[in-house]
């Protein structure tokens, strides 16, 4: 990515998904220790499961590592057994939250409208959301990928984003956890379409919103992906579970 004065530093985000017991805090400490050796060229964030959020935030306190939640409820509080509110994430030490991950959309039937409501709740609680979009393999093979993702962007962004910090993550479903990474051409085409939609919606602000790529990002492909036009970071799953791999990806930014 070509850096200008208004371009935010790339965000390298590690989504642990439903992985990580107490022992995994050592990996977070190792990431923090690795970053302490030099000023990080990227922003770095870890998204542990909700059970570890508070302890992980304490473990990396004072380091360059930011912490976030993997999901939040659209309501601020109330009778929603098993859910976590955006304010709870902030209270536990989080400053970011992922919303609309494809695993949430698939496993929990989350619609774009629900994702937009969650993103709004995150902003209301002072969190920086990462709003996820991405097409299925069937949609890509049918030539519908760009139209589908642009539609998801239109419907998953809340109304009041003006002046608010947020990120978009493009994660093609067929590249998640498969080892099959999207080609740089696919990524560039999709990120350009997302950028155009963000500018149409938000004007100048839309030109600087980081657009992360996610889907089998590894130490050996991170540099090429992160150098592509309009790629403002990476949302990393499997390779964020080991500090060594995650630090190598950060190094590539
Ligand atoms: P993988 O890096 O394991 O493919 O996961 C990507 C992802 O879904 C991150 O949110």
Domains and CATH numbers, the chain: 11-18+36-50+84-252 (3.20.20.70)
- pLDDT-derived band at 5, boundaries 50, 70, 90: very low
**What is the distance in A from the centroid of ligand 1 to the CA of 78?**
31
Q: Tell me the sheet residues that pair with 66.
A: 45
Statement: residue 160 has pLDDT above 90: no
Ligand 1 near 176 CB (within 6 A)? yes
Burial (0-12, 13-18, 19+ Cβ within 10 Å), 248:
middle
Query: What CA–CA distance (Å, rounded) separates 66 from 205?
Result: 23
pLDDT of amino acid 150: 98
- pLDDT-derived band at 76, boundaries 50, 70, 90: very high
Statement: residue 62 has pLDDT above 60: yes
For residues 30 and 2, which has the higher predicted lDDT (pLDDT)?
30
pTM: 0.96
- pLDDT-derived band at 39, boundaries 50, 70, 90: low
103 is catalytic: no
At 80 the three-state DSSP class reads: coil
DSSP run (H or E) holding 65: strand 65-69
Ranges assigned E (strand) in 100-189: 128-133, 167-170
CB contact burial 215-226 (16+ within 10 A = b; e otherwise): bbbbbebbeebb
Closest CA to 121 of 143, 94, 97: 97
Statement: residue 3 has pLDDT above 80: no
CA end-to-end distance (rounded Å), the chain: 9
By mean pLDDT, which of 34-38, 153-157, 158-162 is the weakest?
34-38
Ligand 1 near 46 CB (within 6 A)? no
User: Which residues, in sequence order, are CB contacts of 101 under 8 Å at separation 6+?
Assistant: 15, 70, 71, 132, 171
Burial (0-12, 13-18, 19+ Cβ within 10 Å), 106:
exposed
pLDDT of amino acid 193: 98
Ligand 1 near 158 CB (within 6 A)? no
pLDDT of amino acid 199: 97
Query: What CA–CA distance (Å, rounded) separates 69 from 47?
Result: 5
Statement: residue 174 has pLDDT above 50: yes
pLDDT of amino acid 221: 97
pLDDT of amino acid 6: 62
At 246 the three-state DSSP class reads: helix
Active-site annotation holder among 73, 87, 101, 197: 101
For residue 175 the two structure tokens come to 């590249």
Ligand 1 near 217 CB (within 6 A)? yes
């Amino acid at each position: 990515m070509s850096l200008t004065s208004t371009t935010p530093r790339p965000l390298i985000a590690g989504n642990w998904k439903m992985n990580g017991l107490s022992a995994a805090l050592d990996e977070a400490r190792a990431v923090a220790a690795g970053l302490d050796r030099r000023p990080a060229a990227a922003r770095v964030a870890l998204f542990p499961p909700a059970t570890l959020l508070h302890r992980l935030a304490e473990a990396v306190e004072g380091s360059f590592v930011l912490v976030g939640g993997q999901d939040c409820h659209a309501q601020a509080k109330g009778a929603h057994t098993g859910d976590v509110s955006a304010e709870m994430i902030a209270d536990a030490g989080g400053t970011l939250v992922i919303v609309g991950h494809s695993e949430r959309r698939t496993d929990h039937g989350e619609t774009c409208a629900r994702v937009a409501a969650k993103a709004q709740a995150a902003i209301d609680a002072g969190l920086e959301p990462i709003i996820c979009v991405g097409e299925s393999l069937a949609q890509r093979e049918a030539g519908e990928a760009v139209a589908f993702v642009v539609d998801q962007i239109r419907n998953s962004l809340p109304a009041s984003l003006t002046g608010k910090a947020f990120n978009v993550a493009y994660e093609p479903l067929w590249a998640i956890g498969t080892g099959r990474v999207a080609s740089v051409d696919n990524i560039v085409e999709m990120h350009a379409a997302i950028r155009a939609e963000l500018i149409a919606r938000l004007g100048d602000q839309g030109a600087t919103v980081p657009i992360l790529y996610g889907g089998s990002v590894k130490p050996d492909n991170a540099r090429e992906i992160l150098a592509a036009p309009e790629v403002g970071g990476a949302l990393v799953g499997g390779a964020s579970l080991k500090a060594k791999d995650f630090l190598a990806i950060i190094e590539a930014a």
